[in-house]
Chain A
């Protein structure tokens, strides 16, 4: 099946710094990737839709200047959390579509902001 990777798997950063998370589709090309956020014991909430070669589409309530998304190629999307604060600590998961109804998820990145 299609494989999506994320890097890093875990990251700890200090408040006020920025952190970049990479999402790669390893064996297929994905014109669209998605970024989700999951708080402990909660469901996944879509943050934004990342489109190759164009601006990301953010969900209501998600600050686009804080969560910068770049989809530079058909296999790579990045999420940068700028000026991170402790409340940004969460599990961030990306996904990419291989075929129209099969969305494959990365293993997730656990961000802790101290």
Chain B
């Protein structure tokens, strides 16, 4: 079974500063993918960034970067230069690559980020 833990229920961040959202996971699958999604108040889930468990480098997408520490089973999201539009819920998710679980995503509980002007 897979489990995703996001220990920060809510965070405040000052505009233009960086923020790190924590995500730890537990899995017995040898190969897996890690995802971060943003969910604004409108409810849509917006894909931000992906990290494969065998990727040699940490993933980056614009202002988003993933601090992947495989030995610690953590996949923290770093948002640089925060903007007011970054205020939203952020979900970490994991999916095994292959196996009986197929393509199913398991989500963490989420972290609500509020960017202050």
The finding on whether chains A and B are genuine partners in a shared complex, rather than unrelated, reads yes
Which residues of chain A have C-beta atoms less than 8 A from B104's C-beta?
A: 34, 46, 49
Cα–Cα, bound, A109→B69 (Å): 36
B33 A105 Cβ-Cβ under 8 A: no
B33 A101 Cβ-Cβ under 8 A: yes
Instruction: Give A43 Cβ to nearest chain B Cβ, in Å.
Output: 5
Cα–Cα, bound, A101→B91 (Å): 16
Cα–Cα, bound, A97→B105 (Å): 11
Instruction: Give B79 Cβ to nearest chain A Cβ, in Å.
Output: 19
Query: Is B25 in contact with chain A by the CB < 8 A criterion?
Result: no
Query: Is B30 in contact with chain A by the CB < 8 A criterion?
Result: no
Q: A32-B103, A44-B107 are in contact. Are A105 and B91 (CB under 8 A)?
A: no
Instruction: Give B39 Cβ to nearest chain A Cβ, in Å.
Output: 9
Which residues of chain A have C-beta atoms less than 8 A from B42's C-beta?
A: 107
Q: Which single member of B35, B46, B47, B102 contacts A49 (CB below 8 Å)?
A: B102
Which residues of chain B have C-beta atoms less than 8 A from A101's C-beta?
A: 33, 35, 50, 52, 95
Query: Is A78 in contact with chain B by the CB < 8 A criterion?
Result: no
A49 B45 Cβ-Cβ under 8 A: no
A95 B45 Cβ-Cβ under 8 A: yes
Query: Is A67 in contact with chain B by the CB < 8 A criterion?
Result: no
Which residues of chain B have C-beta atoms less than 8 A from A46's C-beta?
A: 104-106
Which residues of chain A have C-beta atoms less than 8 A from B107's C-beta?
A: 43-45
Cα–Cα, bound, A38→B104 (Å): 16
Cα–Cα, bound, A80→B47 (Å): 26
Find residues 36-56 in chain B having any chain A CB closer than 8 Å to their own CB.
Answer: 37, 42-47, 50, 52
Sample of 13 more A-B contacts, CB < 8 Å, known A1-B47, A34-B104, A108-B45? A34-B103, A42-B110, A44-B91, A44-B107, A46-B105, A93-B43, A95-B45, A97-B103, A101-B50, A103-B35, A103-B105, A105-B46, A107-B44
Binding site for A on B (CB under 8 A): 33, 35, 37, 42-47, 50, 52, 91, 95, 102-110
Binding site for B on A (CB under 8 A): 1, 32, 34, 42-46, 49, 91, 93, 95, 97, 101-108, 110
